[in-house]
Amino acid sequence: MAISSEEIFETLGMIHAQKLDIRTVTMGVDLHDCAGPDSRRVARNTYEKVMRMAGKLVSTAEAVAREYGIPIVNKRVSVTPVAWIAAACETRDYTPIARELDRAAKELGIDFIGGFSALVQKDMTPASEALIRCIPRALAETSRLCSSVNIGTTKAGINMDAVALMGQIIKEAAALTADSSGSACARLVVFCNAVEDNPFMAGAYLGAGEGDGGLSVGISGPGTIRAVVQAMGRDLDLQTVAEEIKRVAFKITRAGELVGRKCATRLGVPFNIVDLSLAPTPAPGDSVADILEALGLDKVGSPGTTAALALLNDAVKRGGAMATSHAGGMSGAFIPVSEDATMALRAAEGALTIEKLEAMTAVCSVGLDMVIIPGDTSPETISGIIADEAAIGMINKKTTAVRLIPAPGKKVGEMVDFGGLLGGGPVMPVSPHSCAVFVRRGGRIPSPLQGLSN
């Protein structure tokens, strides 16, 4: 698609006044040719390939950002799910691979590397189960590695054995990083219907249908859209507001695709996709919750919140899809609590509850994201929350996810600060009623009729 420089110059006001940026450029790196029986040799192979493929990622992204005047906030790498690559190893300790991926990330100067992952929506291979059991130690011993596990799909149903295991894994990861309020859990996400070309962390990995390498872009722009909605006032009807959001999303996406294509060309890899997501940060004015309140809500969490989020999500997708033929990834609005300052504030005030967040996930991009819960929450309760969120995704043929942080020693209402992009927020209450018997039944929740689409 030909994209003119004039179109990008139109966005300068958005960049300077409304905090428009490209949230991430993410290089995908295939690791299949790194496999072998010796896990330490596999670890070295993965390090060497990531360094070779992504060695110029940061410098290239910074050069393109300077050339076009559009900030690129994050530079990231996603790799083939490590459970696939590690299956040939003679040992089941995959932490050497985790450490080498983390070393590559640090030496490259990127903020995160994703793909310490397993896809277990129907059953677990020995390698997948071994990787899952390595996750707490792998995250505790690294600082930039991200991990994800897909436990369900619309086609396969929900693997409740994996769901039960993930409740335990999240607790273990929190305990191993208790000195930082369970921060390892901020780099671990549990999916239903995970996508293979997601450029956002913590869930990015390079799927089976991808090539040896490629570059994807995650756009942003909550501040830009909030400013536009606020400027329209409160007298215009919602259809008119939706049309304006579509127009702005179109411009943001065009800028994102131009930046992505320039980076990919200079790196000598294919351009993959533009993720049309609105991704907030803890910075003032960079909040999805602020957009929803600009639409007319007193506070996010009030009646009408889910409807407002549905309007926003759909309008962003419509506008973005008009601007590119390569939309992919999550493509919607993210609602992470700790990473969105206004969302965290409403949770602290009690206006926003986990139950309301769950309802919102039926229409947003992902799910219960960066939600801090009491440290004494049981593994079975965590698994029950995962199962609920997976059911929403399975039935509605959409991606849903859970990134819960049971902060050790923290009680409801206490504040936790992770710093940086991870932000901070209150410890939110969860239901005191048990689902342990349900979770321990195990087995598989069968795929719904919606899955019979052939």
Helix (H, G, I), strand (E, B) or coil at 240: helix
Per residue in 5-64, pLDDT (tens digit) is 555 555 555 554 556 778 889 999 999 999 999 999 999 999 999 999 999 999 999 999
- Residue 320's pLDDT is 86
348 phi and psi, to 5 degrees? -65, -35
402 vs 1, which has greater pLDDT?
402
- Residue 7's pLDDT is 54
Percent of the chain whose pLDDT exceeds 90: 70
Indicate the range of 57-61, 92-96, 201-205, 365-369 predicted with least confidence. Answer: 365-369
Other beta carbons within 10 Å of 109 = 11
Give the angle subtended at the CA of 86 by the CAs of 84 and 88, to the nearest 5°.
Answer: 95
Element (H, E) at 293: helix 288-294
Average pLDDT for 285-299: 92
Give the CA radius of gyration of the chain. Answer: 21
- Angle formed by the axes of helices 39-54 and 95-108, nearest 10°: 20
What are the DSSP E strand ranges found in 154-303?
A: 157-159, 188-192, 213-219, 271-275
| 329: region left, alpha or beta (phi > 0 left; psi from -120 to 50 alpha) | left
- Residue 5's pLDDT is 57
- Residue 206's pLDDT is 93
pTM: 0.92
Cα pseudo-dihedral 342, 343, 348, 353, rounded to 10: 150
Element (H, E) at 346: helix 341-349
Percent of the chain whose pLDDT exceeds 70: 96
What's the rounded Cα separation, in Å, for the pair 91 and 93? 6
Per residue in 234-284, pLDDT (tens digit) is 888 999 999 999 988 888 888 888 889 999 999 999 999 998 888 888 888
How far separated are the first and last CA of the chain, in Å rounded? 32
Q: What is the maximal distance between C-alpha atoms in the chain?
A: 66
Inter-residue contact 125 to 83 (CB < 8 Å) = yes
| Amino acid at position 161, single letter | D
Helix (H, G, I), strand (E, B) or coil at 4: coil
Question: Is the pLDDT assigned to residue 2 strictly greater than 70?
Answer: no
341 phi and psi, to 5 degrees? -60, -40
Q: What is the mean pLDDT of the chain?
A: 91
- Residue 25's pLDDT is 93
317 vs 165, which has greater pLDDT?
165
- Residue 228's pLDDT is 86
| Amino acid at position 253, single letter | T
DSSP 1-66: ----HHHHHTTHHHHHHH---EEEEEEEE--GGG--S-HHHHHHHHHHHHHHHHTTHHHHHHHHHH
For residue 290, what are its two tokens? Answer: 């602020």
Average pLDDT for 333-360: 93
- Residue 131's pLDDT is 97
Q: How many residues does the chain have?
A: 454
- Residue 322's pLDDT is 85
Question: Is the pLDDT assigned to residue 3 strictly greater than 80?
Answer: no
**Domain 214-449: assigned CATH number:** 3.20.70.20
- Cβ-based neighbours of 235, under 8 Å, separated by 6 or more: none
DSSP, res 333: B
- Residue 13's pLDDT is 55
Q: Residue 167: which pLDDT band, with cuts at 50, 70 and 90?
A: very high
Per residue in 418-443, pLDDT (tens digit) is 988 888 999 999 999 999 999 999 99
- Residue 211's pLDDT is 86
